[in-house]
Amino acid sequence: MDFKSLQPGAAYFYYPRPLCVVGVWDSKRERANFVPVAWAGPLASRPPLFGVSISPKTHSHQLLLQAGEFSLSFLPWQDVELVAKLGTVSGRDVDKVAAFALELAESEVITAPFLANAYVAAECKVSERHSFGDQTLFVGEILRVAARDAVFAPDGTLRVEAMAPVLYLGANRYLTVDAKTLVTLPVAED
């Protein structure tokens, strides 16, 4: 197989990725705002840190600067269309909770709620932020995780036979995984 050169940014080589929905409390409008984020992921275990990369041009970016905290909601595959729709309008112009009839779950340690249909959610406090190119990386310390019963195995991994996650492939394409594609391989010992 031959390789060809591509312009950086011209191919979605870093996808697929789990997609999360970031929730932030808009204190000015007294409502929650939610935005799907694919450029997100764990950064450290101790302390537990999770990063979300958001454009400074967005309303969500401004809210994160003001609030200093955010929720993460990971939604099941049956909500893939909702996830996509949440990214089509700005919370600056639309009350997304009302427009999409979102059911909310109250957070225990932060102001921003999370989506009630999430299979797992996290409550985060912004500990750092860094500008990289056209994005700001908000680093959140995870203060609390709320998970549905029987969604995670004893080793902490997602039970895909119980819950199919939403993954983002790029260019408005989504996919999931299921038990048929799951392989557990032995760990090599040093």
Rounded to whole angstroms, the Cα distance separating 177 from 17 reads: 11
CATH number for the segment(s) 17-180: 2.30.110.10
Q: Where are the domains of the chain?
A: 17-180
Question: What are the Cα distances from residue 80, in Å, to 1, 16, 66, 83, 118?
Answer: 34, 14, 29, 5, 12
DSSP 3-state of 20: strand
DSSP notation for 95-146: -HHHHTT--EE--SSSSS-EETT-SEEEEEEEEEEEEETTEEEEEEEEEEEE
pTM (predicted TM-score): 0.93
pLDDT of residue 102: 98
Cβ-proximal residues to 141 (8 Å cutoff; 6+ apart), any chain: 47, 48, 49, 124, 125, 127
pLDDT, tens only, 64-93: 999 999 999 999 999 999 999 999 999 999
Torsion, Cα 88 18 176 21, to 10 degrees, reads -40
Buried b (16+ CB within 10 A) or exposed e, 90-128: ebeeeebbeeeebebbebeebbbbbbebbbbbbbbebee
Pair of tokens at residue 22: 């970031």
Rounded to whole angstroms, the Cα distance separating 97 from 129 reads: 27
pLDDT of residue 7: 85
Rounded to whole angstroms, the Cα distance separating 125 from 143 reads: 7
pLDDT of residue 121: 98
More confident residue, 100 or 12: 100
Contact 38, 17 (CB under 8 A): yes
pLDDT, tens only, 142-179: 999 999 999 999 999 999 999 999 999 999 999 999 88
Cβ-proximal residues to 12 (8 Å cutoff; 6+ apart), any chain: 169, 170, 171
pLDDT, tens only, 48-67: 999 999 999 999 999 999 99
Task: Examine the pLDDT at 39 and tell me if it is beyond 90.
Answer: yes
Contact 17, 167 (CB under 8 A): yes
